[in-house]
Each structure stands twice: as structure tokens, then as C-alpha cells.
């Protein structure tokens, strides 16, 4: 696929990995449809990068129908939300919202894009998983639950769609400095306190949050990996960034 201009749809391109990947891919000559959740994000991104086709799409709504009008070669499922908190305490409505965005929203966009890919028997779907998709830690259970679900979805789709000429791959970043991890680590303190079932463990949860948000890496590395996956002839099932993140965390 390298050297050939592709039409690439990126969800959650208003910030972080999605924004960086959109800019990098457009610079390499690809037609990038960069979607954002809000009108404010769309306006800001369009002003910053007029080379992009910027569209507002909230993947948890009927906005998703917009993608049916586009002939997409590569879908980068980057949109996502974060939530922390002990499983015994986390408000169920927060967990539901997390699944609505990370799992059901991602699946909704993917199913819509696949209608065109199946018809032409070609395409690639890149799913933004996480190192949290293959492990779980105290306080990060809600987020890990959704990323584990994406791992199952991506692996099943990879096997199902390969005979139809469609490639599905997952990318698994560690902690990168986009602001996402910091917001996620802070989210539990909006409701968690000493009166919670796990209130006595507050210091542990703070320590884990500090660990995840300390010495975060340059997100340009993940954007570059997304460029490589977009242009690669073939992919592997999982793509860890950095490549040795599993060894660093004692998973190998």
C-alpha cells in the first residue's frame, strides 16, 4: 500500500493520536477525512489544517451514517474515552458510557465502513487498543474492560474478513503524553472518596495514577506507527508501541 494515495477515515481526530496521524498522513499525500466529536473541535482543526476534510461525527449517535457516503480505504478507529475507579465502586452509568464510546461506537463506525470495503473486496481497519487491552491494573479496570472487548472484536474480525480481502489490525500504545491518560487518571476523583467501598485504598489508586502519568512518551511515535500501518502491505494482529512495552511491564 506504500506509495499509493489512500482515503483514510480517522475518528477522534480533534486531539492526540488522531490529530497527529491525520496531519502526518495528509502530508504524505493521503486524502484524510478527520472526524471530531464536537463542532468546536471541527472548526479548530479545519482552521489549523485546511488540507484535511474535517467532519463532525459523534460515534455514539446517528452521525455515523455520514460515512456511508465515503469510499474509505483505511479506517483508523481512534475515538475513545477513559475512566478509572475500583470496580466495586465505579458508577455503572460511567461504565456504560465508556462502552458506548469505546466499544459500541467503534463497532458502529466499523460496520458502516465495512459495507463499502466488502463490496470492493479491499480495505484496512486499524483499531486503537492499548497496553490495557492485554492487562488490567487496580483503578484502570473500567478502561481495560473496554480495551479487552476491542481486542476480542479485532481478532475475530481479522479472521472473518481476511478471506474478503480486508485486513484488520490492532495498535497497543503504552502511556503517551496526549493529555488522555492524565484526564483518565483524574476521572475517578470526581466521585471517589473515603466513604467509597474501597476508600481505604485511595493511596494505592493515587500511586498507580501517578505511575501511569509519569515519564509519558512522545505521541509522535504512535502517529508514525499509524502511518506505517496505513501504508503497509501486510500487518500483524497486534502492534505494541513502544515495541518492548510488554517486556518493560514484565509481560514477557
Positions marked catalytic: 143
* DSSP track, 79-128: --------TTTS-HHHHHHHHIIIIIIHHHHHHHHHHHHHHHT-EEEEEE
Cβ atoms 130, 172 nearer than 8 A: yes
Tell me how far the alpha carbon of residue 171 is from its chain's centroid. 8
d(CA 123, CA 70): 13
CA angle 223, 174, 149 (to 5 degrees): 95
Distances from the Cα of 39 to the Cα of 57, 79, 192, angstroms = 9, 15, 31
Cell 487491552 belongs to residue: 133
CA distance 163 to 176: 35
DSSP character string of 173-192: E--BSSSHHHHHHHHGGGT-
Going by C-beta distance under 8 Å and a sequence separation of 6 or more, which residues neighbour residue 51? 26, 27, 32
First and final C-alpha spacing in the chain: 32
Amino acid at each position: 500500500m506504500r506509495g499509493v494515495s489512500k482515503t483514510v477515515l480517522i475518528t477522534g481526530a480533534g486531539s492526540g493520536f488522531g490529530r497527529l496521524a491525520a496531519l502526518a498522513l495528509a502530508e504524505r499525500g493521503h486524502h484524510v477525512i478527520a472526524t471530531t466529536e464536537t463542532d468546536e473541535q471541527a472548526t479548530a482543526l479545519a482552521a489549523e489544517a485546511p488540507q484535511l476534510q474535517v467532519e463532525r461525527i459523534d460515534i455514539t449517535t446517528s452521525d455515523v451514517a455520514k460515512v456511508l457516503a465515503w469510499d474509505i480505504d483505511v479506517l483508523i478507529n481512534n475515538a475513545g474515552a477513559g475512566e478509572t475507579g475500583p470496580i466495586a465502586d465505579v458508577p455503572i452509568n460511567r461504565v456504560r458510557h465508556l462502552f458506548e464510546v469505546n466499544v459500541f461506537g467503534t463497532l458502529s463506525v466499523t460496520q458502516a465502513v465495512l459495507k463499502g470495503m466488502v463490496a470492493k473486496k479491499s480495505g484496512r481497519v486499524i483499531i486503537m487498543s492499548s497496553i490495557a487491552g492485554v492487562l488490567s491494573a487496580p483503578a484502570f479496570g473500567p478502561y481495560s474492560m473496554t480495551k479487552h472487548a476491542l481486542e476480542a472484536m479485532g481478532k475475530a474480525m481479522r479472521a472473518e474478513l481476511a478471506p474478503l480481502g480486508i485486513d484488520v489490525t490492532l495498535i497497543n500504545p503504552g502511556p503517551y503524553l496526549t493529555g488522555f491518560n492524565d484526564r483518565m487518571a483524574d476521572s475517578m476523583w470526581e466521585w471517589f472518596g473515603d466513604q467509597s467501598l474501597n476508600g481505604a485504598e485511595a493511596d494505592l489508586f493515587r500511586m498507580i495514577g501517578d505511575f501511569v502519568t509519569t515519564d509519558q512518551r512522545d505521541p509522535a511515535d504512535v502517529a508514525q506507527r499509524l502511518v506505517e500501518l496505513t501504508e503497509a502491505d501486510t500487518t500483524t494482529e497486534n502492534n505494541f508501541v513502544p515495541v518492548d512495552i510488554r517486556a518493560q511491564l514484565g509481560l514477557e
